[in-house]
């Protein structure tokens, strides 16, 4: 894979000037050499349908499904190659869930055009039957790769992964959930089998990269950003695996200004992002995917002596 | 011939190779705020749910004889809720897991407002307990149980404010001399060298409010019931019996100095 630095060098080469600017990448998008794919994402929205009230101490006026939808539509207008994901804990947190069991949340997400979501621990709060009874209001799939539902009523109601195509670019998306035992009542998750996220991630990325020939691999995670303990987190996952380009997270309600670069087990860059909770922020990661051929990439190697931009 | 085969293989391999690679990334997480957009597509979906929700929230589920608020060394609201947690929690514990807990312990910080005198609505109970905390039963060793009562001693203040004090169920009696518990009775029996089963919330059981004595317990069982739902259930069942919410300051936590 072309590293970021090489791309920057090439950009400098193309423009013949330093330093690299974002407008350059945009120029390359305009020339058709690069496809820009925008990934929008939320996590831990926790049934926050309405914006926070105007007298709220910290988040007055923020969030709200309608406001989020307006932002999403604006981004889609700017870039039709946009995907929208949620990383779990859609449910629980306002009386909307207590009264309607998640029906409204899923209806709104369907209208907003979510492409996929993964399940968080709170999405089990009304049991698997509670989830199943409202799932019909979702027109998007739930990708759950490390929950084995085969002995439960959710069997065949989720996907191990989903592949999207944007201008010929294949984007493989899979989902990782947190260990439910201790977090969720046993009655609620029943015979769901939790599988080691790192092992499952390696299996699925192999399938996505090699069998399915995906160009980009995205993980929707509800593992949590980071822990002091040995518990698997997004940072641990990023470091312990290879083949994932982007981990969109949840569970720990971590507010990040933007995505963080982490080196994977092969020293390549993985992006990890998370946007707090309650729909206060909307995450956005733009991936510039190059259509450059092998030959031109090789030529690029000779472009030594250019200023390295970090 | 052979080399041609290899050449062909390499060509196929190259063609089969990915021709798309991520060359640059940029990210920016932005606050979701109101925009000038006149779009109200989602609002239209929300309105009927919201109207019906407000109706439910404004529904009267019972009445309170007096105003109940939290306090230290004890408060009426804390006493009321700790008592109902023990009775309702034990009912559930007995039916689901055929067991009984010894007492209940909560925290005043979790109760976000007081119980007013007069009509109690569903919405009011949501205001008192806005969190989704669930009831759990934690089995503690005698050492951890002693730590728990020392915590009560340390957190309790004579004539303290609403945030101070630790609510416990009425079958517990704690006598304090300064910050030190000098006598602890559970169901009128002095603490003994056995484990104790405590009903609390998952938040506290996970060490919330510095309740570290709950960490690494002998056993941790979920009751699949929210604290809020237990409060709602109690207010409703009192109302069905024609009774009003009330609570006593019965000196379950008292100073002897």
ipTM: 0.85
Q: How far apart are CA B85 and CA B227, in angstroms?
A: 7
What is the pLDDT, as a whole number, of residue A23? Answer: 66
**Closest CB from B21, B52, B126 relative to A289:** B21
What is the pLDDT, as a whole number, of residue A28? Answer: 72
Closest CA to B77 of B124, B32, B37: B124
What is the reported pTM? 0.79
CB B91 within 8 A of CB B98: no
The DSSP secondary structure of B35-70, one letter per residue, reads -S----HHHHHHHHHHHHHHHHHT-EEEEESS-B--
Q: What is the CATH number of the domain that holds B231?
A: 3.90.780.10
A194, pLDDT greater than 80? yes
Q: Looking at chain A from residue 22 to 81, which residues have their Cβ under 8 Å from any Cβ of chain B?
A: 22, 25, 34-35, 49-51, 61-71, 73-74
**Chain B residue whose CA is closest to A107:** B45
A8, pLDDT greater than 50? no
Q: Which domains does chain A have, with CATH numbers?
A: 1-33+292-310 (no CATH), 39-78+87-289 (3.60.21.10)
Partner-chain contact B30 A92, CB within 8 Å: no
- The residues facing B161 across adjacent strands are none
Q: How far apart are CA A175 and CA A169, in angstroms?
A: 20
Residues above pLDDT 90, as percent of chain A: 77
Partner-chain contact A284 B27, CB within 8 Å: yes
**Closest CB from B27, B45, B126 relative to A95:** B126
The DSSP secondary structure of A123-150, one letter per residue, reads GGTTHHHHHHHHHTT--S-BB-SSEE-T
B15 touches chain A (CB under 8 A): no
Please tell me the least confidently modeled range out of A11-15, A39-43, B44-48: A11-15
- For A161, the enclosing helix (H) or strand (E) is strand A161-166
What is the pLDDT, as a whole number, of residue B251? Answer: 96
**Closest CB from A93, A111, A258 relative to B45:** A111
**Chain A residue whose CA is closest to B20:** A291
Partner-chain contact A290 B20, CB within 8 Å: yes
> Is position B161 within any domain?
yes
> Is position B43 within any domain?
no
Would you call the peptide bond into B73 cis, given omega within 30 degrees of 0 as the criterion?
yes
What is the pLDDT, as a whole number, of residue A75? Answer: 97
Q: How far apart are CA A61 and CA A49, in angstroms?
A: 12
Would you call the peptide bond into A19 cis, given omega within 30 degrees of 0 as the criterion?
yes
A189, pLDDT greater than 80? yes
What is the pLDDT, as a whole number, of residue A156? Answer: 97
- The residues facing B221 across adjacent strands are B137
Give helix A65-78 / helix B41-57 axis angle, nearest 10°: 170
Encode pLDDT of A94-133 as tens digits.
999 999 999 999 999 999 999 999 999 999 989 999 999 9
Encode pLDDT of A58-101 as tens digits.
999 999 999 999 999 999 999 999 999 999 999 998 999 999 99
Closest CA to B82 of B104, B67, B102, B107: B104
What stretches of B161-226 show up as alpha helix (H) in DSSP? 202-205
Total domains present in chain B = 1
> Is position B18 within any domain?
no
Q: Tell me the count of A-B CB pairs closer than 8 A.
A: 166
Q: Looking at chain B from residue 27 to 56, which residues have their Cβ under 8 Å from any Cβ of chain A?
A: 27-35, 37, 39-43, 45-46, 49-50, 52-53, 56
Positions in chain B short of pLDDT 70:
1-18
**Closest CB from B19, B34, B224 relative to A187:** B224
**Closest CB from B35, B40, B132 relative to A92:** B132
> Is position B81 within any domain?
yes
> Which of the residues A66, A251, A256, A275 would you substitute to probe the B interface, choosing the one with the greatest number of B C-beta atoms within 10 Å?
A66
> Is position B137 within any domain?
yes
Q: Looking at chain A from residue 70 to 109, which residues have their Cβ under 8 Å from any Cβ of chain B?
A: 70-71, 73-74, 92-93, 95-96, 99-100, 104, 107-108
Boundaries of domain holding B221: 59-255
- For A30, the enclosing helix (H) or strand (E) is helix A22-30
What is the pLDDT, as a whole number, of residue B10? Answer: 42
What is the distance in angstroms between the Cα of A290 and the nearest Cα belonging to chain B? 5
Backbone angles phi, psi at B53, to 5 degrees: -65, -45
Q: Looking at chain B from residue 205 to 244, which residues have their Cβ under 8 Å from any Cβ of chain A?
A: 220, 222-224
């Amino acid at each position: 894979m072309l590293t970021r630095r090489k791309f920057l060098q090439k950009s400098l080469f193309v423009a013949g000037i330093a330093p690299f600017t974002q407008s350059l990448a945009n120029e390359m998008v305009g020339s058709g050499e690069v496809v820009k794919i925008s990934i929008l994402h939320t996590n831990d929205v926790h049934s926050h349908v309405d914006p926070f009230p105007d007298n709220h101490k910290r988040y007055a006026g923020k969030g709200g499904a309608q406001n989020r939808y307006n932002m999403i539509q604006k981004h889609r207008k700017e870039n039709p190659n946009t995907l929208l994901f949620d990383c779990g804990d859609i449910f629980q947190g306002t009386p909307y869930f207590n009264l309607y069991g998640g029906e409204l949340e899923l209806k709104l997400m369907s209208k907003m055009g979510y492409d996929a979501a993964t399940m968080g621990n709170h999405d089990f709060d009304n049991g698997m039957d509670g989830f199943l009874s409202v799932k019909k209001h979702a027109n998007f799939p739930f990708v759950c790769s490390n929950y084995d539902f085969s002995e439960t009523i959710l069997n065949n109601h989720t996907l191990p992964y989903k592949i999207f195509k944007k201008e010929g670019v294949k984007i493989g998306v899979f989902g990782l959930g947190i260990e439910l035992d201790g977090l969720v009542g046993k009655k609620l998750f029943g015979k769901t089998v939790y599988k080691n996220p790192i092992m499952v991630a390696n299996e699925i990325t192999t399938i996505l990269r090699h069998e399915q020939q995906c160009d980009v691999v995205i993980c929707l995670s509800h593992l949590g950003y980071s822990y002091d303990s040995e518990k698997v987190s997004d940072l641990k996952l990023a470091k312990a695996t290879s083949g994932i380009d982007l981990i969109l997270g949840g569970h720990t309600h971590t507010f990040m200004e933007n995505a963080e670069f982490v080196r994977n087990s092969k020293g390549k860059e993985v992006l990890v992002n998370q946007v707090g909770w309650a729909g206060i922020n909307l995450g956005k990661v733009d991936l510039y995917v190059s259509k450059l051929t092998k030959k031109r990439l090789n030529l690029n190697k000779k472009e030594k002596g250019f200023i390295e931009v970090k | 011939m052979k080399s041609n085969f290899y050449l062909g293989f390499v060509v196929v391999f190259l063609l089969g190779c990915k021709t798309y690679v991520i060359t640059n990334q940029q990210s920016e997480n932005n606050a979701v705020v109101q925009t000038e957009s006149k779009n109200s597509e989602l609002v239209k979906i929300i309105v009927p749910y919201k109207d019906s929700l407000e109706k439910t929230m404004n529904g009267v589920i019972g009445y309170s004889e007096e105003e109940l608020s939290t306090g230290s060394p004890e408060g009426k609201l804390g006493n009321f809720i700790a008592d109902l947690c023990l009775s309702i929690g034990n009912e559930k514990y007995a039916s689901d897991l055929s067991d009984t807990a010894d007492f209940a312990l909560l925290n005043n910080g979790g109760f976000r407002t007081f119980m007013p005198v007069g009509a109690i609505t569903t919405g009011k109970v949501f205001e008192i307990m806005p969190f989704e905390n669930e009831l759990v039963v934690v089995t503690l060793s005698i050492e951890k149980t002693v730590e728990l009562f020392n915590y009560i001693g340390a957190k309790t203040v004579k004539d303290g404010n609403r945030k101070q004090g630790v609510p416990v169920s009425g079958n517990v009696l704690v006598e304090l001399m300064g910050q030190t518990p000098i006598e602890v009775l559970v169901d009128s029996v002095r603490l003994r060298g056995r484990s104790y089963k405590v009903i609390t919330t998952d938040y506290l059981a996970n060490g919330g409010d510095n309740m570290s004595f709950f960490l690494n317990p002998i056993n941790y069982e979920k009751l699949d019931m929210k604290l809020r739902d237990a409060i709602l259930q109690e207010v409703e069942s009192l109302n069905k019996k024609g009774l009003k919410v009330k609570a006593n300051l019965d000196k379950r936590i008292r100073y002897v100095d």
